[in-house]
Amino acid sequence: MSQKKAPTSSKRIIPATDAYYHLEGPKPRFNELGFALKIFIQFIKGFRTLHFIGPCITVFGSARFKEEHPYYKLSREIGKRIAGLGLTTMTGGGPGVMEAANRGAFEAGGKSIGCNIKLPFEQTPNPYTNISITFNYFFIRKVLMVKYSYGFIIMPGGFGTMDEFFETLTLAQTKVINDFPIVVMGSAYYAPLYEWIDKMIAEGTISSTDKDFILFTDHVDEAIDHIEKYVRKHYKPVSRKRLWWLLEKI
């Protein structure tokens, strides 16, 4: 007896979000223009929101660590210490490491910023931010987090953290950002990566000097001192006047 085949549908399955839809390939020109306008509007929204926040230190890390986890506690202390420098703590705005860093800064009376992203899971805004802004696209969020940062702290994390970490490293390697401190915390977690960097140097795929962009440490004091030296040397305060005709709040 032959088995019946499951009926097939002639309807085309539309992806759940417009991000996937637009990444499928060329679309009608009007659709492409609409996509470009969405990107432009989100950038303008980000620029307007973040223009007056002052110099930031961005903390990257996993959304999956709970409050009792040592990396959550370490991130919370980092946020507190960044606030102690008079700098703004910026994160991806979600739970885990991001929440912890924002929380440390918020509880210490410092500025705390969350640049959130729309995702089907994990990414809900945490309550420890003075300003929270949500984007539809990862690349917009990454551009803005780099644009307003004077240093980066990389906590243990997954694919998203690795993406942010290596993009930041690439910008440093190619001199798009010059001498910005990049601190990696969690020596045990990142030990295989440290060895892989040595392998890349040995294979000639990166230069030995590229390793100098990164400070690997488990000590908050060392991380904060490293960042403070750079900021004190390079940061020049600029007075930015709010313009009423741009509807900037006075």
Q: What pLDDT score was predicted for residue 9? A: 43
pLDDT reported for residue 8: 47
Dihedral (CA of 188, 189, 190, 196) sign: positive
pLDDT at 120: 67
Question: pLDDT digit string (tens) for 112-171?
Answer: 999 998 876 656 789 999 999 999 899 999 999 999 999 999 999 999 999 999 999 999
Confidence of residue 246 (pLDDT cuts 50, 70, 90): confident
Structural domains in the chain, sorted by start: 55-232 (3.40.50.450)
- pTM value? 0.86
Q: What is the mean pLDDT of residues 31-45?
A: 93
Cα–Cα nearest to 58, from 136, 161, 197, 128: 161
Any idea how long the chain is? 250
What DSSP string runs through 129-192? -SEEEEES-HHHHHHHHHHTEEEEEE-S--HHHHHHHHHHHHHHHTTSS-S--EEEE-HHHHHH
